[in-house]
Chain A
Amino acid sequence: MADIATARGHAFSGKPAAALEPAVSASAVERAGHPTTAPASPDTFPKLLLRNADIFADRPAIRHKDLGIWQTWTWRQVRDEVSAFARGLAELGLRRGDHYAIVGRNKPRLYWAMCAGQALGAVPVPLYSDSVADEIGFVLAHAEAKLVIAEDQEQVDKILSIRDKLSLLTHIVYDEPRGLRDYDRTALTWIDDVQRRGREAIARDPPHRQWWENEVAAGKGDDLAVILYTSGTTGRPKGVMLSHTNVLISAHNGNAFDRLGADEEVIAYLPLAWVGDHIFSYAQSYDAGFCVNCPEAAETVVEDRREIGTTYAFAPPRIYENIITITMVRMEDAGALKRHMFHFFIGVARRWGEKILDRKPVPLHARLLYWLGEILVYGPLKNRFGLSHIRVAYTAGEAIGPDIFRFFRALGINLKQLYGATEASVYITAQPDGEIHADTVGRPNIDVEVKVSEDGEVLFRSPGVFQGYYKDPEKTAETKTQDGWVRSGDAGFLDPATGHLKIIDRAKDVGRLNDGTLFAPKYIENKLKFYPNIKEVVALGDKRDFVCVMINIDMTAVGSWAERNDVVYGSYQELAGNPAVYDMIERHIDEVNRSLLEEAVMGAAQIRRFLVLHKELDADDGELTRTLKVRRSFIAERYKPLMDALYGGASEADIATEVTFEDGRKGTIAARVVIRDLKPATPAMEKAA
């Protein structure tokens, strides 16, 4: 069978063409030498596009796998597509200062839609493609969108269903015509037709070039570039306004921080509406001139990444967790020889891999073993997940388990942590190469200032800091001070030893013990949750004398442990109450207490008592949110008898809770829950490797 999917990434990732050498290396020198506070002269996205079409000309700008083949557009082609698109949008009535929405997955034409509108001085508002119609309706109305560019029938249907409420919306443009043939065309146009109309207008009107250049030149760095709506955990989403300068300086500094150049290859697969994708797949590409690859479908990302051989990657922790889970499950099914080889070399990697990655001295025999492991295990594994060519990979969004983090680093993948916010155009802090700690989020990025307020909240100030929340001056004033400092809402501290920032919790959740010790529930909960046996944790301690935790065991992990150790059980409740399980959990908590003790700020908040809950916390019972976050205040009320027992000194407590079964019936679970005391950890514990 002819394999016609041939546009492989590394075919392009060699040396740039000779003519490009000066431009590329000049900017590389500038990046390495003295990072600048402003991007090179082009101060808007459309201006950068014109620059790229000049200096990167026929190098690939964006690819899309369609019908099994990687289709490539060069920077010049993108410029022509965008200019025709812009002209077509102008014909549809889009004007400077108008707002328009973009909703869909990562497709070249949706990225072009951003730049095309920006060239006219209009402001794109990307939306989450999995939002329901009402959420989309809210944002479209709030942002006063005049036009929507939608990916396909699914999105068009959603918008049409709320059309009546959107008086400002004049037109819908769509990318994928399938299923839309019989729709009413009066306010619905295919992107191809928009571009065709643009091209016709250009043909009719020879001074188009002048028109286009004037439009682009009229844009200024301080103009609003984009409004990104944050998925609000509380209340309605807020529209974060970012200027061209905000986004481009932040992207430029991010590129400089990791010395990213025109040779990078990235896969664009995260939501367009998320600031991360806006920076990584759009702004950084325009700044550095590297190629962005759009996958064929959401399900093919791993395969597509492998074909491209990405060099720069960004993913939330769950993606990395998923890779490990898949690997481990597959290895359990593999033959004995393969399995032993895998575990042996993973052991070698865990011991030496990070040191080798960080260029620290390593004995010769370890180097040889690691080299062998690279050939037999690490190389094939990295290749399988498309990580062979990775130079820089980031994890962000939430805390990553230290074991997971170290696993990837041990394989020789330069995985790092980053702390960012929409309000900062992503970059606040990041880990520089060679300064990696599993529990910090790194140093302040170039041009970023970070400080911690008296009550422990992290504040930042940078050229990337947002203009304000759209139509919400009150919220803006709450978040951003007059002199440009932004409250992150996160509690954290700068680690005196390394100068790195550590994030401990959402600021509003941080409390104090009665003796004044800082108490960060999520910090403690996360430390415990990184043990596979522990699924959920509720840490208590605010305005109390000491810290207690309520534990949910992980039924899969503990169940398989029980099977291996001949522990018989009939239900979750029975397993949870088993003394051997209590012993196991106690050992985990002891380790956490010890690791807490090593930290100056958090050390005093030691866990003194714990219990294992008799039932799993469940969103159906209101104990977890729909996104599976623990609802502490609700639990405190519901499990009051257990709380009283924890702090009253009793060694067990009776509890009866009402539960909702999946079919909606209600029932009651009653149990006697055992409470255990923990010996406080002593500072002089083993300092093993």
Chain B
Amino acid sequence: MRAPAVPDPAAGDVLLAVDNVSLAFGGVRALRDVSFDIHRGEIRAIIGPNGAGKTSMLNVVNGFYQPQQGRITFKGVTRAKMRPYEAARGGIARTFQNVALFKGMTALDNIMAGRTLKMRRSFFWQLLRYGPAMAEEVEHRRRVEDIIDFLQIPHIRKIPVGKLPYGLQKRVELGRALAMEPELLLLDEPMAGMNLEEKEDMSRFIIDVNNHFGTTIALIEHDMGVVMDLSNRIVVLDHGVKIADGTPLDVQGDQAVIDAYLGVAH
């Protein structure tokens, strides 16, 4: 099933490129011939009205959906299809629109779960918690503690996430994604349902992740103020079609965008 991997020498500082992707569910055409790219180190926003195909786009990028047409080039490797585990191994991590954590596990264990792909020792040794497996686990825990410190959540380390308020659950989810040490981080509405203060906190964390770890970020967000402040470039979708692509300033002034989205919403 695996598509032939062709290195693309012309990629330059493009981390990920989507070319002419179309995706349909039966008769519903979620994405129509969409192309855009994400540069290494930038914060890239995907916006659009409800049902524009934003989440579908993210799902295509991390291999959750298989597009009927088009290609995805990630780190110079072009594929027609990408499997979720290939995306994860390759350094793509994501968070979900509806928090997808293990509710009965503590914040710490949830974030540790993000390290699974980095574990080298076999399951057997990990069960015994002996020798190299133990040393490895201590090292993973150290990395996770750095993330806990970074996200300022030491006080909830040992609390089952199901008991946490929504804003903190979102932060734990971000922590789990960071634990994978991704090159590309996909955030699906990281600020949905948050109050102003929580949004400000989350914005700061996103900027810090970008600055501090140099992580490339692609995010979907509805709060226009946040999007305009955070992102370097924005791609606008409407009914599965890309209608604009550029800097926040370009997009804000684009008549098609105003008609489709900003003008209506505000």
Neighbour of A67 across the interface among B137, B149, B212, CB < 8 A: B149
A296 part of interface (Cβ distance < 8 Å): yes
B149 close to A4 (CB less than 8 A):
no
B residues near A296, Cβ cutoff 8 Å:
154-155
Interface size grouping (class) on chain B:
20 to 34
Neighbour of A303 across the interface among B142, B155, B212, CB < 8 A: B155
* CB of B156 to closest CB in A, whole Å: 8
A297 close to B138 (CB less than 8 A):
no
Which residue of B has the minimal Cβ distance to A300?
B155
A residues near B150, Cβ cutoff 8 Å:
178
A68 close to B154 (CB less than 8 A):
yes
* CB of A303 to closest CB in B, whole Å: 7
Given contacts A67-B142, A67-B145, A67-B146, is CB(A1)–CB(B157) below 8 Å? no
Interface centre among A1, A65, A66 (most CB of B within 10 A): A1
Interface centre among B137, B142, B146, B155 (most CB of A within 10 A): B155
Neighbour of A68 across the interface among B145, B208, B211, CB < 8 A: B145
With A and B bound together, what is the CA distance between A562 and B211 in angstroms?
56
A1 close to B208 (CB less than 8 A):
no
Neighbour of B157 across the interface among A68, A178, A181, CB < 8 A: A68
Q: Mark B131-159, 1 if CB is under 8 A from A, else 0.
A: 00010011001100110111010110110
A179 part of interface (Cβ distance < 8 Å): yes
A179 close to B155 (CB less than 8 A):
no
With A and B bound together, what is the CA distance between A432 and B138 in angstroms?
48
B29 part of interface (Cβ distance < 8 Å): no
B154 close to A300 (CB less than 8 A):
yes
Interface centre among B142, B152, B154, B157 (most CB of A within 10 A): B154
A2 close to B208 (CB less than 8 A):
no
A residues near B152, Cβ cutoff 8 Å:
297
Given contacts A67-B145, A67-B149, A68-B145, is CB(A1)–CB(B112) below 8 Å? yes
Interface centre among A66, A68, A179, A297 (most CB of B within 10 A): A68
| Chain A: interface residue total (CB-CB under 8 A) | 17
Neighbour of B154 across the interface among A1, A2, A181, A297, CB < 8 A: A297
B108 part of interface (Cβ distance < 8 Å): yes
Q: Mark A156-186, 1 if CB is under 8 A from B, else 0.
A: 0000000000000000000000110110000
A2 close to B137 (CB less than 8 A):
yes
Which residue of A has the minimal Cβ distance to B108?
A1
With A and B bound together, what is the CA distance between A296 and B149 in angstroms?
9
A299 part of interface (Cβ distance < 8 Å): yes
Q: Classify the interface of chain A: helix, strand, loop or mixed.
A: loop
In B26-76, the 8 Å CB interface with A consists of none
B189 part of interface (Cβ distance < 8 Å): no
A2 close to B138 (CB less than 8 A):
yes
B208 close to A4 (CB less than 8 A):
no
A179 close to B134 (CB less than 8 A):
no
B residues near A1, Cβ cutoff 8 Å:
108-109, 112, 141
With A and B bound together, what is the CA distance between A479 and B61 in angstroms?
72
A residues near B109, Cβ cutoff 8 Å:
1
Neighbour of A2 across the interface among B129, B149, B155, B158, CB < 8 A: B129
With A and B bound together, what is the CA distance between A179 and B212 in angstroms?
8
Which residue of B has the minimal Cβ distance to A182?
B211
Which residue of B has the minimal Cβ distance to A1?
B109
B residues near A300, Cβ cutoff 8 Å:
154-155
* CB of A209 to closest CB in B, whole Å: 36
B154 close to A4 (CB less than 8 A):
no
Given contacts A1-B108, A1-B112, is CB(A179)–CB(B141) below 8 Å? no
With A and B bound together, what is the CA distance between A2 and B109 in angstroms?
11
With A and B bound together, what is the CA distance between A65 and B141 in angstroms?
15
A179 close to B142 (CB less than 8 A):
no
Neighbour of B155 across the interface among A4, A67, A182, A297, CB < 8 A: A297
With A and B bound together, what is the CA distance between A473 and B196 in angstroms?
48
With A and B bound together, what is the CA distance between A391 and B264 in angstroms?
67
B155 close to A68 (CB less than 8 A):
no
With A and B bound together, what is the CA distance between A65 and B154 in angstroms?
10
Neighbour of A179 across the interface among B138, B149, B157, B208, CB < 8 A: B208
Which residue of B has the minimal Cβ distance to A179?
B208
Residues of A within 8 A of B (CB): 1-2, 4, 65-69, 178-179, 181-182, 296-297, 299-300, 303
User: Known pairs A2-B134, A179-B208, A299-B154. 15 more at Cβ < 8 A?
Assistant: A2-B137, A2-B141, A67-B142, A67-B145, A67-B149, A68-B141, A68-B148, A178-B208, A178-B212, A296-B154, A296-B155, A297-B155, A300-B154, A300-B155, A303-B155
* Closest 9 pairs between A and B when the two form their complex, measured CB to CB: A299-B155, A67-B145, A300-B155, A296-B154, A68-B145, A297-B154, A2-B137, A297-B155, A300-B154
Task: Supply 22 A–B pairs (Cβ within 8 Å), ascending by A.
Answer: A1-B112, A2-B134, A2-B141, A4-B138, A67-B145, A67-B148, A67-B149, A68-B141, A68-B145, A68-B157, A178-B208, A178-B212, A179-B208, A181-B211, A182-B211, A296-B154, A297-B154, A297-B155, A299-B155, A300-B154, A300-B155, A303-B158
